[in-house]
Amino acid sequence: MWARVRTAQHIGLIAVALLALAGGSAWAQRGPGLPPSLGPGGPGPQGPIGPGPGPGSAPGGIISTSPGLSLMSPGGGISPPSSTITGPAMPAQVVPLPTAAPMVPAGQVALYLNARFGRDLPPITGGVVWRIFPDKPDNTGAFKMLREEKTSAPTFLLPAGNYVVHAAFGHAQATKMVQLRAETVREVFDIPAGGIRIEGKVGDVKIPTSQIHYDIYRGSQFEPGDKRPLAQNVVTGDVMLVAEGTYHIVSHYGDGNAVVRSDIRVQTGKVTDVTVTHRAAVITLKLVGDRGGEAIANTQWSVLTPGGDVIKESIGAFPRVILSEGEYRVIARNEGKSYQHEFKVITGVDSEIAVLAR
């Protein structure tokens, strides 16, 4: 009983360490072994979960999901770059394992591994990172990684003993305790994972990649608990691999107040395409002495809500700020004097706001 408790604690410690490692970077389409494109497949989630944009969203912000692509090609895992899928994924086909006795050195045992999306689902044939750890920490209390492989179905030759095997597919993962004695061991890991791919729009116009980024959180925005991001600064078009479940997306258009939040549902083996529609516009500010005059340099700017909350501060002759639809007040300061102007932002209407220095 105590041995089982200790083993569970060790697996938990390893998993926590690996989660922290994975959380520091955005595992996406450019991750190890993941090809640059995926073939079209069956339908994805039917739409966002919950009432839509939550607290802090841009007014009227919209988030929608479209039929997903399939991560499961017929008889395989991730599709190669040029392939397409014309129908639903075929039943699971476990990657064949060697039947002949391998040439194993004395004192070692062969461990064959492969991963699949789940029972009765196809194997994952790319993008999995395998790590082997001892089942007990060293003298410093740390679990030192013994081996790492990035092939779809690796074979490890290890001394007889107990090990913890960790399989990571993007942010989705699985961990098992494995006992190696004398006979060859074969283990299949179930990793129920899917993908998230996001793009932002204003109306029908796609937002340039350089102007928008996304943060992804586990669970719904309306649930209490850990609100640390799973991934930050995710780029448009990247495919984030995550475990099946509910996720909370925060879309940041520019560095002003154009923010949209909502929940989505990720299904095993499918890429959920998410389109975030912002109700916002790009506003350029300038301080002039006369209407139609040249902008005055070295001007300090503050953009505020009607209630006086500061949204953006900057310095320059032509600062640009992306604002959600609504009414605003801007204060321009130059050579010890302040000038104010009220203006309105209309979705999709990029404007230049001239403040008169008088």
296 shares a domain with 189: no
Whether residue 65 is found in the same domain as residue 136: yes
321 and 258 belong to one structural domain:
no
**Where among 278, 310, 329 does a domain terminate?**
278
Tell whether 238 and 290 lie within a shared domain: no
60 burial type by CB count under 10 A (0-12 exposed, 13-18 middle, 19+ buried): middle
Q: Which amino acid belongs to residue 163?
A: Y
- Do 272 and 306 lie in a common domain? no
d(CA 54, CA 71): 30
Boundary-marking domain end, from 231, 263, 278:
278
Q: What is the pLDDT of residues 251-284, one digit of tens each?
A: 999 999 999 999 999 999 999 999 999 999 999 9
**Which position has the higher pLDDT, 51 or 326?**
326
Domains of the chain: total: 2
* Residue that finishes a domain, picked among 217, 252, 278: 278
pLDDT, mean over the chain: 79
134 in the same domain as 176: yes
Please indicate, yes or no, whether residues 220 and 146 belong to a single structural domain of this protein. yes
174 within 8 A of 191, measured Cβ to Cβ: yes
Residues 6 or more apart in contact with residue 91 via CB below 8 angstroms: 120, 122
Q: Is pLDDT above 80 for 60?
A: no
216's CB contacts (< 8 A; 6+ apart) are: 196, 229, 230, 231, 234, 240, 242, 247, 248, 249, 250
Q: What is the mean pLDDT of residues 104-114?
A: 91
CA distances to 6, 135, 144, 177, 300 from 3, in Å: 5, 11, 20, 12, 66
Lowest mean pLDDT among 52-61, 139-148, 198-207: 52-61
How many angstroms separate the CA atoms of 173 and 252, rounded?
28
Give the pTM: 0.74
Domain that holds residue 316: 280-356
Q: Say yes or no: 285 and 262 in one domain.
A: no
Q: What is the CATH number of the domain that holds 323?
A: 2.60.40.1120
